[in-house]
Amino acid sequence: MSYIGILITYVFISNLILSQFLGLCPFIGVSKDLESASGMGFAVTFVMTIASLVTWMVYHWVLIPLNVEYLQTVTFILTIASLVQLVEMVVQKYSPALYKALGIYLPLITTNCGVLGIALININQGYNLMEGFMAGFSAGLGFMLALILMSSIRVKMQTERVPKAFKGIPIAFISGGLMALAFMAFDKALLTNLIG
Amino acid sequence: MKELTKGIYRENPIFVLVLGLCPSLAVTTQVVNGIGMGIGTMFVLICSNIMISLLKNVIPDEIHIPAYIVVIASFVTILDLMMQAYLPALSASLGVFVQLIVVNCVILGRAEAFASKHGVWDSVKDGIGMGIGFTLSLVLIALIRESLGAGTITLFPIESLGFNGEIRIPGLVNSPARVMTLSAGALLVMGYLKAAINGINERKGR
């Protein structure tokens, strides 16, 4: 698949949150205001892109030559966990401003199923290194898009009258559902029409 | 006994603690997937609770999270390989979500909040209770989604009774609301269920 195709697929058609249910916890937890949503979005995009690259390399250059593909889950989660730690340290040292913006979100990303999810999807889809990189980056962008849209909805919601039982999490889910309904307009047919 | 029952309603992992959402919404298009995922998660939860409560004095504090993750990931790998070998159909329909049990916050959450502070026996009971609560919630979501979205209820086939594993609901099976099996329906069902539980709890508290 072309790189543009991968980009459109993972940002709109198979949006990580709205159609694949990966990374729902931050979608509900960190979408209360625009600032934290965009912070989390950037942090996830950053880690997803690097993680896609590194896990691809680990799988194809280490696990396959050694014939230990069954260790995939263990190695990937460890790779991601150490990567997040490394990114945190590097960012803290070289860019205190960025660290201030992303710092508190980075540890949360280790247990974000989106990162591991996209790493596993890359392998299952048989992408090559560049395609995997592109998929990771686009999935991160899609995640950020959904998170930012959600946070704007929730900010608006604060001034609306919501029945007491629906306050907070339930109404967030329902608005997420309606958003997913809107995203259903993006489907495989759209992709074929756009790039053939 | 308290450890065993709290997971079912009072501290239900999905509806009250709001943990482990991704698998609960992604796999619940069919009841059988919900059961499979629930039992798989329960297996990993019980095993990792046992392991972690045994190892709690050995694991240094600074690296306890990575250590827990390795323990959990090993059990997930065992589960994944066993499912591929003995239940290939279920494994195929759960797809990547079997491996994603590793990042299910319920498991790490219980390891951190319970198993690392309690004895083995209590941790087993906690694992069973939470696992049952998780499975029941998945089955509830799947029941609503599948019956409205496809007009069927899919369970395990029982050959001796001539039961092919699928109950068809008359009226719904010919004109189902397909959207309920898609992602939008999942989020809506989850929202309404959570609201219903909030409402019930509020009425009780009053």
Could you tell me if residue A196 is inside a domain? no
Could you tell me if residue A89 is inside a domain? yes
Asked if the Cβ–Cβ distance from B103 to A181 is below 8 Å, we say no
* pLDDT at A9 exceeding the cut of 80: yes
Q: Which residues form the domain of A67?
A: 3-185
Could you tell me if residue A195 is inside a domain? no
Q: Which residue of A has its CA nearest to B101?
A: A113
Q: What is the mean pLDDT of residues B24-44?
A: 89
* Measured CA distances, B7 to A75, A82, B46, B47, B131 (Å): 31, 32, 13, 17, 8
With beta carbons under 8 A apart, name residues in chain A contacting B106. Answer: none
What pLDDT was estimated at residue A1? 62
Q: pLDDT tens digit string along B55-80? A: 988 888 878 888 888 899 999 999 99
* CB-CB contact of B34 with B28 (8 Å): yes
Q: pLDDT over 70 for what percent of chain A?
A: 97
* pLDDT at B132 exceeding the cut of 80: yes
pLDDT band (50, 70, 90) for residue B85: very high
- Write out the H or E segment, with its range, that includes residue B166: strand B166-168
CA A115 to chain centre: 6
Q: pLDDT tens digit string along A134-178? A: 999 999 999 999 999 999 988 888 888 888 888 888 888 999 999
Mutate to test the interface with A, among B99, B138, B201 (most CBs of A within 10 A): B99
Q: What is the mean pLDDT of chain A?
A: 85
Q: How many structural domains are present in chain A?
A: 1
With beta carbons under 8 A apart, name residues in chain B contacting A24. Answer: 21-22, 25
Please give the residue that has the higher pLDDT: either B103 or A119. A119
Could you tell me if residue A55 is inside a domain? yes
What pLDDT was estimated at residue B10? 78
Q: What is the mean pLDDT of residues B25-35?
A: 87
CA angle B15, B17, B23 (to 5 degrees): 65
Q: What is the mean pLDDT of residues A122-130?
A: 90
Asked if the Cβ–Cβ distance from B25 to A164 is below 8 Å, we say no
What pLDDT was estimated at residue A103? 64
Could you tell me if residue A99 is inside a domain? yes
Q: What is the mean pLDDT of residues B96-118?
A: 85
With beta carbons under 8 A apart, name residues in chain B contacting A176. Answer: 187, 191
With beta carbons under 8 A apart, name residues in chain B contacting A178. Answer: 184, 188
Asked if the Cβ–Cβ distance from B103 to A177 is below 8 Å, we say no
* pLDDT at B90 exceeding the cut of 70: yes
Q: pLDDT tens digit string along A22-61? A: 888 778 777 777 887 888 888 889 889 999 999 999 999 9
Could you tell me if residue A191 is inside a domain? no
Spell out a b/e string for B6-16, using b for 16 or more CB atoms within 10 Å of the CB, else e. bbbeeebbbbb
Cβ of residue A108 closer than 8 Å to a chain B Cβ: no
Q: pLDDT over 90 for what percent of chain A?
A: 23
Query: Which tokens sit at B154?
Result: 């899919």
Quote the minimal CA–CA distance from B48 to chain A in Å.
Answer: 14
Asked if the Cβ–Cβ distance from A166 to B76 is below 8 Å, we say no
* pLDDT at B19 exceeding the cut of 80: no
* pLDDT at B162 exceeding the cut of 70: no
Taking the C-alpha atoms of residue A160 and residue B102, their distance in angstroms, rounded to an integer, is: 38
Spell out a b/e string for A95-111, using b for 16 or more CB atoms within 10 Å of the CB, else e. eeebbebbeebbebbbb
Could you tell me if residue A130 is inside a domain? yes
What pLDDT was estimated at residue B81? 92
Q: What is the mean pLDDT of residues A3-31?
A: 83
pTM of the model: 0.86
Please give the residue that has the higher pLDDT: either B157 or B190. B190
With beta carbons under 8 A apart, name residues in chain A contacting B192. Answer: 170, 174
Q: pLDDT tens digit string along B181-194? A: 888 888 999 999 99
* pLDDT at B28 exceeding the cut of 80: yes
For A166, residues 6+ apart whose C-beta sits below 8 A from its C-beta are A174, B191, B195, B198
In single-letter form, the type of residue at position B154 comes to T
The DSSP string of B4-55 is HHTTTTTT-TTTTS---HHHHHHSTTSHHHHHHHHHHHHHHHHHHHHHHHHH
Asked if the Cβ–Cβ distance from B25 to A184 is below 8 Å, we say no
What pLDDT was estimated at residue B151? 82
* pLDDT at A114 exceeding the cut of 90: no
Query: Which tokens sit at A47?
Result: 């880690």
Cβ of residue B109 closer than 8 Å to a chain A Cβ: no
Q: What is the mean pLDDT of chain B?
A: 85
Quote the minimal CA–CA distance from A194 to chain B in Å.
Answer: 24
What pLDDT was estimated at residue A196? 63
What pLDDT was estimated at residue A63? 92
